[in-house]
Amino acid sequence: MLEIKDLKSRIGDTEILRGLSLSVNAGEVHAIMGPNGSGKSTLAQVIAGHESHEVTGGTVTFDGQNLLELEPEERAREGIFLGFQYPVEIPGVNNAYLLKAAVNAKRKHNGLGEVDAFEFLKLAREKMATLDMDPKFLNRGVNEGFSGGEKKRNEILQMAMLEPRLAILDETDSGLDIDALKAVAKGVNALRSPERAIILVTHYQRLLDYVQPDYVHVLSQGEIVRSGDKSLALELEEKGYDWVREAASA
Amino acid sequence: MSTESENLESLVNRRYEHGFVTDIEADSLPPGLNEDVVRAISARKNEPPFMLEWRLQAYRQWLEMKEPTWAHVHYPKIDYNEISYFSAPKSDEDRPKSLDEVDPKLLETYDKLGIPLHERARLAGVAVDAVFDSVSVATTFKEKLSEAGVIFCSFSEAVQDHPDLVQKYLGTVVPRRDNFFAALNAAVFSDGSFVYIPKGVRCPMELSTYFRINAANTGQFERTLIIAEEGSHVSYLEGCTAPMRDENQLHAAVVELVAMKDAEIKYSTVQNWYPGDENGVGGIYNFVTKRGDCRGANSKISWTQVETGSAITWKYPSCLLRGDNSVGEFYSVAVANNMQQADTGTKMIHIGRNTSSTIVSKGISAGRAENAYRGLVKVMPQAHGARNHTQCDSLLIGKECGAHTFPYMEIKNPSARIEHEATTSKISADQLFYCRQRGIAEEDAVNMIVNGFCKEVFKELPMEFAVEAQALLSVSLEGAVG
Amino acid sequence: MKHAALSIDDLRDVVRRLPDNGLTPSREAALAHFHEHGLPTLRDEDWKYTDLSPVVNISNRWLTAGGPQLPHKSLRDTVDAITRSIDAHWLVIANGTVDDQFVNAITHRGIEVSRFSDAPAPFEMQRPLADLNAALLHDGLRLRITGSTDKPVGILVVDRAKSDAGVAQSCVDIQVEPGVSAEFIEYHVSDGDAEHYANSVLSMVVGERASVRHVRIQNRAIRHVQTSRTSVALGKDARLHMASYDLGGALIRNDLDIDLGKPGADVVFDGLYLAGDGQHIDNHTRVDHRVGPATSTQEYRGILNGNCRCVWNGKAIVHRGADGTDANQANHNLLLSEKAEIDAKPELEIYADDVKCSHGTTVGQLDETALFYLRSRGLDKRHATQVLTHAFAADIVLRSPVTAMTETITAIVEKRLAQLIEADFVSDVLS
């Protein structure tokens, strides 16, 4: 589904990704771990098309299509969802409005008709109930005045509504208390299916207790230095990132 | 330049949609201003002596006044002798009695502007007093209004048919010599609207006027007077749009509102005069004096404006809160793009006891525009229990524009509670990316964010106006984001 | 609207009679510039709410009398009281004269002190009141802080007006060298029954990465008039934390200009003004953000009681290209009397887009719920009022940047507040 080969990127003069390769198939859950500054969030943003990153080499294809040629909104409509580490506040813009606009943009792209307000609200309320979210959230400004946990749940709600084929969750677990973490994990697990792939970008292995990954990759200095199954995450937890760094430089 | 800013620019560079000139022969006075011109205007309108006298006094006072320079705007000196002070469609003598009699070309113009007069009027239940150039050419729903005792007519008609009312209220809110532009207007005003709501009457429909400027070199000097008697209620909508042309055109209107005891006036404006091109060539100078007088206890005057047009806007719709418990409101969205300059805001003068005022101002600057909020909240010594809340936000789009706030608070009573908040921000790249990552096109994302920013003001507009305002906003800002 | 002008012939005579200590050329140049521009009037936007007539009247009377120089030695008791109770490296300007004894007493390695007359500098064009200052200046103080100091540097400006009208100038130039951390106390105090006009100028350059904490107290006699201009320019990554306390004076006008011309600067400045009967206190602040990133945060609070008027005009200008600017202004006022007036004007002029700017202004009274709460706990009205008024002022007092001064400031603020509350306003407001 997602094929990344020798991907290199930079911000300004700083090189971040230095030849990263990764292959993700439908139905798989990949966890990407690594210390701060290793390029985890950069990878997520490059896949989603954030313009502050300049791709200087390599390829990224999504179902054979060159992803790097697409605008961010086109990637989104193709089914790529990025759960933001720091979801943005957009004052005055109704949460429901954004969500409905997003759902309809995607439906239109897929040649489907727009959902009407009634259908949309019904669906949104259902999804919110499974995430233990207060329906009142729909009428608030996008992330406006939300707590950290509320923002992350809101990301999961958007993901649930948009039903992406590839979901990338950038440190969605950071700053969450245990209840919020469980709610988020529940949302992610509900989305697991043979047609869908999920990439979890995380610093800690805590989330992986609740969402079992098929593969774990360790990123260091813009490259994947180690891949394995979920036991790698446990090993990391125990030995710390220095161990990977040493292993990588050795 | 990033792709993002290129996209924004293309958005901004969308053309003004309402730029075309209707080819109608105008019956104009030659350019220039002197007492004879003032007399000629009054004579053509067949005005009673008191009006001529009033105009002449205003003219003489104007001669002694200086054009104000304190606003944060710059423009070449205006030669008042190069302006023609009167123009009317040729059919002035024989004005149409119904829409069928209206020049089809005129109706076509309104259609192009998206103002299908008959349709809109019928569908929306709105009476439209359409001012083409300076003279009213069509008025609808007059019968229904007159049943309720409401007078809604052109100012000229009011001078003929209700001279006592005109004489009683004219200039009592905005005196002749209030300021340079108001004095000029008083001397030469061509026409405008007149509304009188009798005691206890709730106006059965929203009243609406569309103004247009046509005919080259013709200054526009409308004058509107609205009187709401005790316990009455009226909502008045004013919308403008103008054809594209190169000369700068002066528009110096005056609006006076009088609200008696328990009366309420809601005055909404969507202003879309021609703003000039990307290089600041052409465009309207919009120097307007609007003031409401809450004369009676418990009266309320509410101004809502969406200002997207004009090369220069100089406008401070104000409230004199004289009646005890009277309420003044000002909700404003002002957009300045390209080379536009706006200096707009309000004055809330608290005079009576327990008066309150609310100010919500949303300024959007893009391109190389300058956008200033200027406001005064004044609490007089006797104004016990005055309340004001002011929220004044600026949104910046692009690196070459300016956004300024100049609020004045003059508080002379210790029981006043005054709160003023202001913020300035820009549309962040993060907000745009977030929306785009959810599949929303950049242009739509910008509109969404800007509309969110303006939400508090839009919700004050009557429904059909709110829709128009949102559309206007997106047109005005096309290409602006960067 | 124009107030009477300063009598320029008398001014010229007085300037020419000043002892020639090398400052004559700059005095003459300043006089010429002042003559050209005159004093501002109510027609000037920046002086809309403050009438300089008292300055003109006092000055003219003083000039007519030949500009008598008041003796500075007689102030010894006041000087001693302050310099001995607050531990600092003190410098003293008394009745407009730099006290050599204090200049000579500074021995700390990190502090270089000199007089303007030691190395006269050419006159630079300034604003009218600063011109007047330069024209009438006997001598000024020049300070260079080259290394960190063990205790604050104190500048005491003290005047005593015994005879008829008196006029005194003070001027201080401060240079804080790169990387140096310094603390300043600027203390303006006066006594005497006669009318007096003090005009002060202080300019400071804060070097790259330097850090300055500056506290300014104005506690003049109730009939005295003061105008002052403080200009601070910050270097790259420099920090300034400043607080200004205005307690006394009949007519006080402070102009504070902060210039952020280099990236990375961080400025916090607070102000507190307490005004009672007969006082007019006007604070004008201006921050020029010329480049980014840089941060400025200001908060002024005022408590007004009796027949008085305060003005707060905060201006933040974000110049073209100053991206990454974060500018915040806040102004809160407690109006406690029917006769008090506050004119507040928070202005933002912004020419860059990547900025965060905000201002908030409030005018109001004590929170009635809080007042009731305290009374329900047994405090009488007056006491409850006092507690809440103190609480309103306390934030600004406790944030005072120079810890050596916090105690003194607390004491004089409390004393002044007690006087204000003693006034008969309480019944007005609470009835």
Mean pLDDT value of segment C39-48? 90
B432 Cα to chain A: minimum distance (Å): 9
Q: Which of B382, B400, B401, B410 to mutate to test the interface with C (most CBs of C within 10 A)?
A: B410
**Number of separate domains in chain C:** 1
Cis peptide before C293 (omega within 30 of 0): yes
Residue with the two structure tokens 């956004």: B403
**B239 within 8 A of B306, measured Cβ to Cβ:** no
Tell me if C31 is assigned to some domain.
Answer: yes
- Say what the pTM is: 0.82
Closest CA to C274 of C202, C206, C218, C349: C218
Neighbours of A133 (CB within 10 A): 20
- Determine, for residues A90 and B431 on separate chains, whether the beta-carbon distance falls below 8 Å: yes
Per residue in B267-321, pLDDT (tens digit) is: 998 887 878 888 888 888 899 999 999 999 999 999 999 998 888 999 999 999 9
Q: Quick check: helix, strand or coil at residue C180?
A: coil
Per residue in C335-368, pLDDT (tens digit) is: 988 899 999 999 999 998 888 899 999 999 888 7
DSSP state of C70: P
Q: What is the pLDDT of residue B199?
A: 97
For the cut 90, the answer to whether the pLDDT of residue B380 exceeds it is: yes
For the cut 80, the answer to whether the pLDDT of residue C2 exceeds it is: no
d(CA B153, CA B159): 10
- Determine, for residues B402 and C349 on separate chains, whether the beta-carbon distance falls below 8 Å: yes
Using pLDDT thresholds of 50, 70 and 90, give the confidence band for residue B127. Answer: very low
Q: What is the pLDDT of residue B137?
A: 37
Closest CA to C204 of C144, C121, C138: C144
- End-to-end Cα separation, chain B, in angstroms: 9
Complex ipTM, two decimals?
0.85
Tell me if C290 is assigned to some domain.
Answer: no
- State both tokens at B36: 């004879």
Helices (H), strands (E): how many in chain C? 10, 19
- Determine, for residues A76 and B448 on separate chains, whether the beta-carbon distance falls below 8 Å: no
Tell me if C151 is assigned to some domain.
Answer: yes
- End-to-end Cα separation, chain C, in angstroms: 38
Tell me if C107 is assigned to some domain.
Answer: yes
Neighbouring-strand partners of residue A133: none
Least confident interval from A72-81, A241-250, B391-400: A241-250
Residue with the two structure tokens 């509102």: B257
Per residue in C211-246, pLDDT (tens digit) is: 999 999 999 998 899 999 999 999 999 999 999 999
d(CA B66, CA B62): 8
Name chain C contacts of B385, Cβ cutoff 8 Å. Answer: none
d(CA C57, CA A151): 64
- Determine, for residues C360 and B420 on separate chains, whether the beta-carbon distance falls below 8 Å: yes
Residue with the two structure tokens 């700053």: A175
Higher-pLDDT residue of A79 and C430 is A79
Q: What is the pLDDT of residue B213?
A: 40
Tell me if C59 is assigned to some domain.
Answer: yes
Is B294 in the C-facing interface, judged by CB distances under 8 Å? no
- Determine, for residues C361 and B407 on separate chains, whether the beta-carbon distance falls below 8 Å: yes
Q: Which chain B residue has the Cα nearest residue A108?
A: B439
Give the Å distances, CA to CA, from B395 to B337, B371, C258.
12, 10, 25
- State both tokens at B48: 């009673």
Tell me if C140 is assigned to some domain.
Answer: yes
Q: Which residue among A51, A92, A97 places its CB closest to the CB of B4?
A: A51
For the cut 80, the answer to whether the pLDDT of residue A155 exceeds it is: yes
**B194 within 8 A of B151, measured Cβ to Cβ:** yes
- State both tokens at A80: 């790529």
In Å, the largest CA–CA distance within chain B is 68
Tell me the CB-side half-sphere exposure of residue A77, using CA atoms within 13 A.
20
Tell me if C46 is assigned to some domain.
Answer: yes
Tell me the CB-side half-sphere exposure of residue B481, using CA atoms within 13 A.
25
**B276 within 8 A of B338, measured Cβ to Cβ:** yes
Neighbouring-strand partners of residue C289: C260, C318
Report which residue type is found at B48.
Answer: P
CA C205 to chain CA mean position, Å? 17
Using pLDDT thresholds of 50, 70 and 90, give the confidence band for residue B132. Answer: very low
Supply φ then ψ for residue B225, to 5 degrees.
-135, 120
Alpha-carbon Rg for chain C, nearest whole angstrom, is 21
Q: Quick check: helix, strand or coil at residue A120?
A: helix
**Chains C and A in direct contact, meaning 3 or more beta-carbon pairs closer than 8 angstroms:** no
Report which residue type is found at B479.
Answer: G
- Determine, for residues B3 and A51 on separate chains, whether the beta-carbon distance falls below 8 Å: yes
For the cut 90, the answer to whether the pLDDT of residue C402 exceeds it is: yes
Q: Which residue among A51, A71, A101 places its CB closest to the CB of B448?
A: A101
- State both tokens at B7: 């996209």
CA A212 to chain CA mean position, Å? 16
Q: What subunits touch chain A, counting only 3 or more CB pairs under 8 A?
A: B
Q: Which domain covers residue C146, as residue numbers?
A: 8-260
- Determine, for residues C355 and B424 on separate chains, whether the beta-carbon distance falls below 8 Å: yes
For the cut 70, the answer to whether the pLDDT of residue B123 exceeds it is: no
**C283 within 8 A of C313, measured Cβ to Cβ:** yes
- Determine, for residues B439 and A97 on separate chains, whether the beta-carbon distance falls below 8 Å: no
Neighbouring-strand partners of residue C196: C166, C224
Q: What is the pLDDT of residue B45?
A: 86
A35 CB-contact burial (10 Å; exposed 0-12 / middle 13-18 / buried 19+): middle
Tell me if C119 is assigned to some domain.
Answer: yes
Q: What subunits touch chain C, counting only 3 or more CB pairs under 8 A?
A: B
Per residue in C54-84, pLDDT (tens digit) is: 999 999 999 999 888 777 667 888 899 999 9
d(CA A81, CA A73): 10
Query: Which positions 412-441 of B are in contact with A (Cβ < 8 Å)?
Result: 428-431, 433-441
Least confident interval from B113-127, B456-470, C68-82: B113-127
Neighbours of B93 (CB within 10 A): 7
For the cut 70, the answer to whether the pLDDT of residue B482 exceeds it is: no
